[in-house]
Amino acid sequence: MAEFADYDGYDGLGLAELVLRGDVSPDDLMDTAMARVAARNPKINAFSALFESRARGDIRTGLPPGPFHGVPFALKDLFMHYEGEVLCQEDARASCCTRDEGGPFGAVL
């Protein structure tokens, strides 16, 4: 696990630029994001589901190009759907969020 110590110093586009330049890897960003969730979620209970293995698989198989290429992201479970995942009691066959943004999907808020 290689956490990225300067994570807080960048917004999503800045992190994507670092990935593009090869200064940090999508796995480094995922390690950092997941470590932060593990440290903080027990107290604030913000994440209802984690999809780390899917996100890691997306990284391994290749992320699509996009403005947030390589930057992990989370979805707020307000009737959102993510292709192939059940996020709530609604009809999970619908898909309104795909990998087009370029980042690995790691969690649901």
- The 3-class secondary structure across the chain, one letter per residue, is CCCCCCHHHCCHHHHHHHHHHCCCCHHHHHHHHHHHHHHHHHHHCCCCEECHHHHHHHHHHCCCCCCCCCCCEEECCCCCCECCECCCCCCCCCCCECHHHCCCEEEEC
pLDDT at 88: 56
Whether this prediction's pTM lies above 0.85 is answered by no
pLDDT along the chain (109 residues), means of 10: 86 96 96 94 88 91 93 75 58 47 56
